[in-house]
Amino acid sequence: MGAPLYRVVLCDLRTDQVLDVLPITNVQLDDYIGKIGSASATIPLPNRAVAARARVAVEPGRTALWIERGSEIWWGGVLWTANLTSNDRGFLTLQVQAGGWASYLDHRAVLHTQQAVQVDQYDIVRGLIDYTASLPGGDIGITYDVEQLSGVRRDRTYRRYDVPRVREVIDQLGAVENGFEWRIASYRDPGSGRRIKELQLGSPVIRTGASEIVLDHPGPILTYEWPVDATVQANVWQSRGAADNRNQTQESLPLMSELLVDDQQLAAGWPRLDGTSDYSTVIEQPTLDAHARADMTAAVSPQTIPEVTVALDRTPLSPALLGATIRVRIRDLWWAEGLDHRYRVVGLAISPPVRGRPETAKLTLEAA
């Protein structure tokens, strides 16, 4: 059985009309819950005809890049950079890099004040997506489930004077106490065959998949990394909000959250570790306090984020695994008694086979 074929489908970002389909080499792709995925690839230019096609199809900032593995869509995003290279023999290649669909929202700002009063937080997100699409040239075809609700209502005002970036606004909304996770997934509609960019929301986290996958080491897990990091740990926390500029006769001071202290951890012998965060657009005390509590919860006991690298020829996986629960079993010198735990997949990086190296997937995990 031959190695899976990867190819790139280049489309107009606004209409998704296909511009060209080209073979690629040196492809790398990753996708995550909680941060933007990326992809890079090399388009060989063996002759004048292919070079002319690539010149027309590749326009950074305007071109959508879909990566297919066989007949399936494994990644989608916005092509942001291209680099034409020539080697000492005159062979040309075009190296392209793209960011996931959410990277487009880094390039969109709130230029008109948006206000929500006791609105479900999912509807606030969908309203922001609708806002970006409503402006001339701003609709790139992001879809969503209009019925899904989180059950958490919020008051939010996003002022045009702050010109916040839309992705930053959504990230902050999701990071508050009782918040949510979000991502924009890429897949092919099984009925119509259309390429889909779909907003996915999950509160408190995104969960997918019904059947559990078991990964063993030794076995399908080729290598693993198990970092333990206290540099982000804190047991005292305070967050800072926007400055109050309403009274010009007094010094402008920022809004401050309540000071949070984990007395139990200090009593157990831990040294005091102070943590802070800034929310320069937050003007309401309850909102800032909710951010501080969420930040404190994450900082008191930071999660270990292990990574396992799996051979795809032993265990068939795909980017659809994001949000799914897997069972990891390891037995070696460190885990002599045997590790057997369930984890949620929050990141996935694919490395296609190259010169005898097997096709692999590096999974980023968090405790389920």
Domains of the chain, by residue range, sit at 6-101, 108-202, 213-228+304-367, 236-300
pLDDT at 2: 55
- In the structure, what pLDDT confidence band is assigned to residue 1 with cuts at 50, 70 and 90? very low
CA 135-136-140 angle, to 5 degrees, is 80
Q: Give the chain's mean pLDDT.
A: 94
Helices (H), the chain: 48-57, 121-134, 166-175, 263-267, 285-300
Q: What is the CATH number that goes with domain 108-202?
A: 3.55.50
Cβ atoms 96, 40 nearer than 8 A: yes
Give me the phi and psi of 170, to 5 degrees please: -65, -40
Checking if the pLDDT of 193 tops 60, the result is yes
Which residue carries 């990086």 as its tokens? 349
Tell me the one-letter amino acid at 57: A
- Kindly state the helix (H) or strand (E) to which residue 134 belongs, with its residue range: helix 121-134
Q: Output the six-digit token pair for 256.
A: 């401050």
Distances (CA, A) of 159 to 115, 197, 280: 8, 28, 12
Q: Residue 302 gets which letter from DSSP?
A: P
Which one, of 33, 11, 13, 9, lies nearest residue 21 by Cα? 9
- Topology classification of domain 213-228+304-367: Phage tail proteins - horseshoe like beta roll fold (2.30.300)
- In the structure, what pLDDT confidence band is assigned to residue 58 with cuts at 50, 70 and 90? very high
Q: pTM, whole model, 2 decimals?
A: 0.89
Given CATH 3.40.50.300, say whether it is the number of domain 6-101.
no
Give the SS3 label for residue 95: strand
**Are both 6-101 and 213-228+304-367 of the same fold?**
yes
Distances (CA, A) of 110 to 155, 203, 270, 301: 17, 24, 43, 35
Which residue carries 């970002």 as its tokens? 13
Cβ atoms 166, 108 nearer than 8 A: yes
The more confident residue out of 23 and 339 is 339
